[in-house]
Amino acid sequence: MTSTLQSKLASGRFVLTAEVCPPKGSDCADFLEKSRKLSGLVDAINVTDNQGATMRISPLAAAALLVREGIEPIFQITCRDRNRLALQSDLLGAAALGIENVLALTGDHISFGDHCAGKPVFDLDSVQLLQAIKGLGAGQDLAGKSVTGAPAFFVGAAAAPEAEPFPLTFYKLEKKVAAGAQFFQTQAIFDPERLRLFSEAVRPLKVKVIAGILLLKSAGMARFVTNNIPGLKVPAPLIEELEAAADPLAAGVAIAGRLAAACKPYCDGLHFMAMGREDLIPEILKAVGGRWSAVGS
Amino acid sequence: MIVSKQKPIDEILAALAGDGKIFLIGCAKCATVCKAGGEEEVWQMQEVLTSAGKEVTGSVVIDEACHMLRSGRDLRAKKEMVEEADALLVLACGAGIQSISAGTPKKTVAGLDTLFLGNIRRFGQFEQKCSLCGECILTETGCICPVTVCPKGLLNGPCGGMDSGHCETDPEKECVWFQIYERLQAQGTVEKLKKTVPQKDFSKMLKPGKLGIGK
């Protein structure tokens, strides 16, 4: 079993992914509608896991709904809310439901979200979660017991190319790859030069790099993510550009397009975080140029 | 030492509602250092209770309230005052309170919240450095504990929220993995960060803990 995303990347195809946040509730109509519209454009859709530690429908359920629709999901799974039993249990469930791509994450701290008084789990960290996924793939759980129908996931991990000090994060990236990560999806890139350096640094690890592009919808939102979203820092000149724009959303689309085009030479794909405005991704892609109308077909 | 702080007085008085006569107990060790349950705080509490219309039958500050035999002995020495009271108000950590309550059928009220095993920065300033996890990895981490100091307890390096060496949960705070990195670098052993640390054995901190030395 090989995921389409995996085969496309293996064949050297430049891929596009986008994240869609599952709803806070059980009504998935809107989520599915957004995903359907995107599915013609991107190669896979990331389903986020209680993003920002805000409680939403299970990403496992949401990803399974996408599979049912014939849309390829990337199931994001974090260590914040599940111990090692629940993580492995959900991974086996994902495999049984036809989910082929997994993005293994630590997860934002619970203090950022809407259930701050809850007990964060972090029984495993992202490296250990990757080891667990590798183990399941080899037919064995973390207790050394055998499992039937070993899941063959295409496994990704997160990377923050602009985080300082980079050498410190690089140790962890090496561990992630040793633990089985086959691709990195990066945090939002604001400085393509940093992505270039990052890609050079990880080249010996022989993993695919999908660069994160964040749509900044306004100066206010840029400030909000800078202050509230872990690992995201929008540079001041970009905030000023949004501030000065007559149409901030259009300016945000232009910035995202500019960054996407500049990042393209240094990665194997682009990952869009459009924060609810997934409808604008085609517009962003225009700036990237080339054969994008054919992507996903 | 065990860091504790006094509960809000309203909460203490609510717990003592209907109890007219109170016997007060403090601890001469940690609760004294925390200024939560020493001689001074026991005295102040006596004043508060009196002005709230209660009668304090007596008080004692036990040298290590967590010591079960000693707290039993000290209470027996004040037997009459204890007997006369409707409730015992204990200004000691959770361990101390339970040593005391185990030795008497009397209603016992906890006057403190017990916070953590703390290091003393300076008088009145305490910091948690150790979580008593039962499996010390300090030798590998430059003697800085990520299990405790990282809010996520991560064992293999910083999370994606680390920013310029700072923690995602508090930009004022240094990321513990950044601290470890700097320290190992200074010691010339930064290669230690290459080692993948396997899943932690949390069975070593299964509750309730018990240890008998020797035999």
CATH architecture of the domain with range B2-116: 3-Layer(aba) Sandwich (3.40)
Distance CA A261, CA A255 (A): 10
| Interface mutation vs chain B, best among A49, A128, A136, most B CBs within 10 Å | A128
Query: Residue by residue, what is the 3-state secondary structure of chain B?
Result: CEEEEECCHHHHHHHCCCCCEEEEEEECCHHHHCCCCCHHHHHHHHHHHHHCCCEEEEEEEECCCCCHHHHHHHHHHCHHHHHHCCEEEEECCHHHHHHHHHCCCCEEEECEEEEEEEEEEECCEEEECCCCCCCCCHHHHCCCCHHHHCCCCCCCCCCCCCECCEECCEEEEECHHHHHHHHHHHCCCHHHHHCCCCCCCHHHHCCCCCCCCCC
Q: What is the ipTM of this complex?
A: 0.94
Query: Nearest to residue A214, comparing CAs of A238, A180, A245?
Result: A238
**A104: helix, coil or strand?**
strand
Instruction: Nearest by CB to A187, from B156, B160, B169: name it.
Output: B160
**Which residues on neighbouring strands pair with residue A237, listed in sequence order?**
none
List, by residue range, all CATH 3.40.50.11860 domains of chain B. 2-116
Give per-residue pLDDT as tens, A273-293: 999 999 999 999 999 976 564
* Cβ separation A165–B193 shorter than 8 A: no
Q: Tell me the mean pLDDT in the region A28-50.
A: 96
In chain A, residues 55-94 whose CB comes closer than 8 Å to chain B: 79-80, 84
Give per-residue pLDDT as tens, A107-136: 999 999 999 999 999 999 999 999 999 999
Under the banding of pLDDT at 50, 70 and 90, the label for residue B98 is very high
Structure tokens at B116: 């953590």
Instruction: Nearest by CB to B156, from A109, A125, A167: name it.
Output: A125
Q: Tell me the mean pLDDT in the region B99-110.
A: 96
Distance CA A21, CA B190 (A): 39
Q: What is the mean pLDDT of chain B?
A: 96
Instruction: Nearest by CB to B160, from A167, A171, A230: name it.
Output: A230
Cα of A25 vs its chain's centroid, Å: 21
Res B214: pLDDT: 81
Give per-residue pLDDT as tens, A170-193: 999 999 999 999 999 999 999 999
Chain B residues touching residue A79 (CB < 8 angstroms): 152
* Cβ separation A168–B160 shorter than 8 A: no
Report the CATH fold assignment for A4-159: TIM Barrel (3.20.20)
In chain A, residues 163-182 whose CB comes closer than 8 Å to chain B: 163-165, 167-169, 171-172, 174-175, 178-179
